[in-house]
Structure 1
Amino acid sequence: METTHDVVIIGGGHNGLTAAAYLAQAGKKVLLLERDEQVGGAAISAEAFPGVDARLSRYSYLVSLLPQRIIDELGLEIALARRRYSSYTPNPCDLTGGLLVDRGDAPATQASFDRVGAAADFAEWGSFYRDTEHVARALFPTVCEPLPTRSEARRLVGDEAIWGQFFEQPLAEAITARFGHDLVRGVVATDGLIGTFTSLQDADLDANRCFLYHVIGNETGDWDVPIGGMGAVSGALEKAARQAGARILTGAEVTAVDPAGEVRYRHGGTDQVAAGRRILANVSPWVLRGLLGADTGEHPEPGRSDTRPEGAQVKVNLLLERLPQLRDASVTPEAAFGGTFHINETFSQLERAYDEAVRGEIPDLLPCEIYCHSLTDPSILSPELVAAGAQTLTVFGLHTPHRWLTEENNDETRARLQAAVLESLNSVLAEPIEGLLLTDAAGRPCIETKTTLDLEHALNLTGGNIFHGPLDWPFLEDDAPRDTAAERWGVATEHPRILICGAGARRGGGVSGIGGHNAAMAVLEE
């Protein structure tokens, strides 16, 4: 057996790297085991199209929740760029118009509300997002601290009306009470559905929790572009961990975990064992169950932690010779694609698509969101591609649940979902997107599609769930146990030596490093 380490970390995604950096900087002996040949997990940049010099953020895309505190404390060399435009949404009732939200020009935004027939919603838009900023200022400073209780969080928010709308009633109620236009309601609602398969009216409030994490980042809710792509974020974290003395072993697949502190893994064709006083699991809680030898079949019982996680999105990466023209001639493609481009995401379309997906049907017009990294950060493209005007698009299709997919039908379903994404995209364009695709070295169109099953295969994301499971509130219920550091930091498992340090930790979702930070703090506190 190897010499005992203070901490063995399973999984080298960005959270595992965050934990490794903090613990190594604190003088702990750290071993990180990553099954792939590179670290970064979902937060990597890669050449997706052979022979084309473009490094895409292949899985994750933007940064909202990474606290400046973590960047500063670890001395990370990360540059984030703010996008001028918040969003553009074509009006499905009249595709020659759409809603453009311009951060830098309030009168232009108001005029855009007027053009889509939503003039009455403009003032409420400002009021609504002042309320979300109020919540963000109250709660985001707590995400790198021990968890508050529900009562403490409520006092921090300090506004009963806001608390009731965002924390006590389905998100649909607040949206429909405050906005009258179907398109405006949909733009607001989408933040409650990324990676979350639910109705906006569901009493379980899954949409509310998803919405909350999308709007509180760094007390503003802004989603920024990492210069150099997601790989730059993971690269900076890896550098910090290695410089602090953490040992990072790639190509090391963990095969079993013993609650007493043994981690079995396979590396270089041989089975090996590492011992740790603490084990941090940067894998989904469901994967950890399997490593501990627990049954990971389907669990029909109602407990949330006993249900296999399910993702609900399809991701399509495209490389284009230029941005497409829109049916809306009043908006330039650069402005429309400069923020989040919403397609077929009115409130009624989102709810209808959910109902269709529950019935096992791909929605007729799949709700989609588009991000163009290269407009804000052309450094991910070669100088030749930049000079030629090439652009990347990342499209997320919503309400495509993992339950549709099997090993046998994944290829067929992937093709159907890709076709559905392109059809939805083309419905708002003045020209077919297919005609703008660049080709790779073999002459194939530069487009790739990732289903939830593809994510499970490539990243070990159970069910393709990007959050590793259902999201939790960023606070503990008043009667929840708080006896251990792991419980207070939201990283506890049923085994005292083993902590969750990834997206499955409370407050762990998104490219944030928060799960890794909090697991490290729990170790150091104990």
Structure 2
Amino acid sequence: MIGTRQGRTPEVTVALPERAERTPRPGASRHDVVVVGGGHNALVAAAFLARAGMRVTLLERLDAVGGAAVSASPFAGVDARLSRYSYLVSLLPYTIVRNLELVVELRSRPVSSYTPVRRSGADTGLLVERRPGAATQDSFRKLTGGEAEYRAWTRFYEQLGKLARALSPTLLNPLLGRGQLEALAREEGAGQAWEWVFEQPIGAAVERFFGDDTVRGVVLTDALIGTDSWAGDASLKQNRCFLYHVMGNGSGEWRVPIGGMGSVTEALHRSAVDAGARILTGVEVTHIEPDAGGGRAEVTYRDREGAEQVVQAGYVLAGVAPAVLTRLLGRGGAGAPQPQGTQLKINMLLDHLPPLKSGADPHVAFAGTFHIDEGAAHLSQAYKDSHAGRLPDPLPSEVYCHTLTDRSILGKDLLKRPDVQTLTLFSLHTLPGGATKEEMVRAAVAGLDAYLEEPLADCLLRDAHGEPCLEAKTTEDLQEELAMPGGHIFHRDLSWPYAERADQVGKWGVETGIDNVLICGAGARRGGGVSGIPGHNAARAVLDRVADAGRRRSSGI
């Protein structure tokens, strides 16, 4: 594979036409900040700004805040609160949890991953513990026939750990230049990992390090979750996805939110409200109008009765996707590339976990990430199939069981049944148009069934209407329900965590080209995932500007 420094991600820039200073609309309520959208990042921004003493109003289209970071009881008559869209947490910094005094618990899973494998007519598998030890080493040896792959795995992730420790602390600070960030990585001894991730397609390093197709695939899945790409993509967008999956809090560990993802949103909501933020739900923002001088903006929305309301503020923070912000600003966006998600999400409730053909204990195998048909060669073919308008067969996906780590999401009646478990399935390379929703679900279930001794259908609980407890969400569902363009879970392709131009150094990566309109959602630089980082950084950008304006006034400038 050819090394490259390509892959620059565009900034969110919205140009305004020249216009005169406008007279504020009579009767409009006034605040310091209006936050558009009520996802977890928007709540982080609202909480930080309200705690700083600013008058904050948050406007959310849905009847509840949280966006994709919510829990729900989707099965009639069944008391189980499942993480409906997002489901694990890695990138949420301890600093945000501490400074907002959030009452949240993120619990480690005992297993990192298990990958069932069928070779030479026999079923086996690869187990990777959260902290790889004797069981992991033995599993590598049995699968690959020696020690080389396990030693390579250890060296590879030791280097990535150094890179994560170097870069993770920078995410809550103003942007550094690429050279500055590289220097930090090299000081930490992560120069080799920097080259793997920042200089060439990640597939090149994976091919050099590992010889086994299954091992290669397990590594590469972190580069492809929610990202339409492949191992050798010269744009390096798969590398950016990989980086964010291995960088969280300096360890890259993905943990289970106790109480479900909704518990994270509930803690953020309490923090914002307790600090004095005004939060309105069931209201839809229809237009954002900044003035030419950048000192004020008007936000128009429809209230619950359908009446048009206007609120004025010095700053507008957009927790919506960049493409949605462009529309709200009246800039159209025609001709701009549209984001496109690649996944199918399935939530399930089972009366017991099915046994595996490999003989592995399902309580171990499903405790981490259970990889299905994600060998490197098949991931490459699945990408080609999806771009040819076909549903990959088999469909690469991964599954995990929340309740093996946290049973608090089950109601008291279900808690009396120790065998009841949840399963969450998330597919890769599932572009719209290749199949119907029903066909996608059948393909995903068939892929899992191929490794089970008992069909999944025989394990599913039934709801009050006798229907199987299985709920599926496609990219079209995410677009319709959460206003995520193309169902892209990161709002757009992830960006590098550094300034790509000299004039961005020292800024926060939330700027839009309009002085008092900032991005606080996943589409910001250093966005994506359940992290709160864009919300924190947008709040810091506002506070920095307010402080700078105060200094200028006091000095008579």
Q: TM-score, normalised by structure 2?
A: 0.89
Deviation at 1:423, TM superposition (A): 0.8
Alignment map for 1:336-375 (pairs within 5 Å): 336-375=365-404
Alignment map for 1:71-220 (pairs within 5 Å): 71-93=97-119, 96-103=123-130, 106-117=133-144, 119=146, 120-158=148-186, 159-220=190-251
Which digits, 9 at most, give the CA deviation of each residue in 1:405-463, with x for residues without a partner? 8xxxxxx7111110110011111111110111111111111101111010001101110
Which digits, 9 at most, give the CA deviation of each residue in 1:58-112, with x for residues without a partner? 0000000000000000000001100110000011325521001123561111110
Alignment map for 1:417-436 (pairs within 5 Å): 417-436=440-459
Query: CA 1:472–1:280 in structure 2 vs 1: closer, same or farther (change >3 Å)?
Result: same
Q: Does 1:459 align with 2:488?
A: no
Deviation at 1:386, TM superposition (A): 2.6
RMSD value, Cα: 1.2
Which digits, 9 at most, give the CA deviation of each residue in 1:487-515, with x for residues without a partner? x1000102111000000001111000001
Q: Tell me which of 241, 246, 265 is aligned to 2:272.
A: 241
1:511 maps to 530
Tell me the amino acid that sits aligned with residue 471 of structure 1: L
State the alpha-carbon separation in 2 of the partners of residues 274 and 118 from structure 1: 66
State the alpha-carbon separation in 2 of the partners of residues 449 and 95 from structure 1: 32
1:62 maps to 88
Query: Which secondary structure state, in structure 1, belongs to the residue aligned with residue 128 of structure 2?
Result: strand
CA contact (8 A) 1:95 1:428 kept: no
Q: Does 1:489 align with 2:525?
A: no
State the alpha-carbon separation in 1 of the partners of residues 514 and 436 from structure 2: 39
Deviation at 1:295, TM superposition (A): 2.0
State the alpha-carbon separation in 2 of the partners of residues 92 and 516 from structure 1: 45
* Higher alpha-carbon deviation: 111-120 or 498-507: 111-120
Alignment map for 1:20-59 (pairs within 5 Å): 20-59=46-85
Alignment map for 1:265-414 (pairs within 5 Å): 265-268=301-304, 269-297=306-334, 299=335, 306-329=336-359, 331-388=360-417, 389-402=419-432, 404=433, 413-414=436-437
CA contact (8 A) 1:372 1:391 kept: yes
Q: Tell me which of 502, 505, 523 is aligned to 1:480.
A: 502
CA contact (8 A) 2:175 2:504 kept: no
State the alpha-carbon separation in 2 of the partners of residues 368 and 427 from structure 1: 13
State the alpha-carbon separation in 1 of the partners of residues 192 and 458 from structure 2: 50
Which digits, 9 at most, give the CA deviation of each residue in 1:140-188, with x for residues without a partner? 0000010111000100000432221111100110100000100000000
2:12 maps to none
CA contact (8 A) 2:31 2:56 kept: yes
Q: Does 1:263 align with 2:282?
A: no
Corresponding residue pairs, total: 507
State the alpha-carbon separation in 1 of the partners of residues 181 and 474 from structure 2: 37
State the alpha-carbon separation in 2 of the partners of residues 92 and 295 from structure 1: 51
Matched-pair identity in %: 51
State the alpha-carbon separation in 2 of the partners of residues 197 and 54 from structure 1: 32
Query: Which secondary structure state, in structure 2, belongs to the residue aligned with residue 17 of structure 1?
Result: helix
CA contact (8 A) 2:201 2:234 kept: yes
Tell me the amino acid that sits aligned with residue 307 of structure 2: T
State the alpha-carbon separation in 1 of the partners of residues 196 and 132 from structure 2: 29
State the alpha-carbon separation in 1 of the partners of residues 79 and 122 from structure 2: 35
Deviation at 1:117, TM superposition (A): 1.7
Query: Which secondary structure state, in structure 2, belongs to the residue aligned with residue 366 of structure 1?
Result: coil
1:230 maps to 261
Deviation beyond 4 Å, 4+ runs, structure 1: none
CA contact (8 A) 1:118 1:184 kept: no
Q: Tell me which of 453, 472, 489 is aligned to 1:449.
A: 472
* Higher alpha-carbon deviation: 426-435 or 57-66: 426-435
State the alpha-carbon separation in 2 of the partners of residues 152 and 383 from structure 1: 53
Query: Which secondary structure state, in structure 2, belongs to the residue aligned with residue 86 of structure 1?
Result: strand
1:302 maps to none
1:498 maps to 517
Query: CA 1:106–1:78 in structure 2 vs 1: closer, same or farther (change >3 Å)?
Result: same
2:552 maps to none
Query: Which secondary structure state, in structure 1, belongs to the residue aligned with residue 489 of structure 2?
Result: coil
State the alpha-carbon separation in 1 of the partners of residues 145 and 487 from structure 2: 37
CA contact (8 A) 2:69 2:530 kept: yes
Tell me the amino acid that sits aligned with residue 267 of structure 1: D
Deviation at 1:464, TM superposition (A): 0.3
Query: Which secondary structure state, in structure 2, belongs to the residue aligned with residue 342 of structure 1?
Result: strand
2:11 maps to none
Query: Which secondary structure state, in structure 1, belongs to the residue aligned with residue 63 of structure 2?
Result: coil
CA contact (8 A) 2:217 2:379 kept: yes
1:408 maps to none
Query: CA 1:450–1:95 in structure 2 vs 1: closer, same or farther (change >3 Å)?
Result: farther
Structure 1 unmatched ranges of 5 or more: 300-305, 406-411
Structure 2 unmatched ranges of 5 or more: 1-26, 292-296, 546-557
Query: Which secondary structure state, in structure 2, belongs to the residue aligned with residue 354 of structure 1?
Result: helix
Deviation at 1:377, TM superposition (A): 0.4
Query: CA 1:104–1:138 in structure 2 vs 1: closer, same or farther (change >3 Å)?
Result: closer
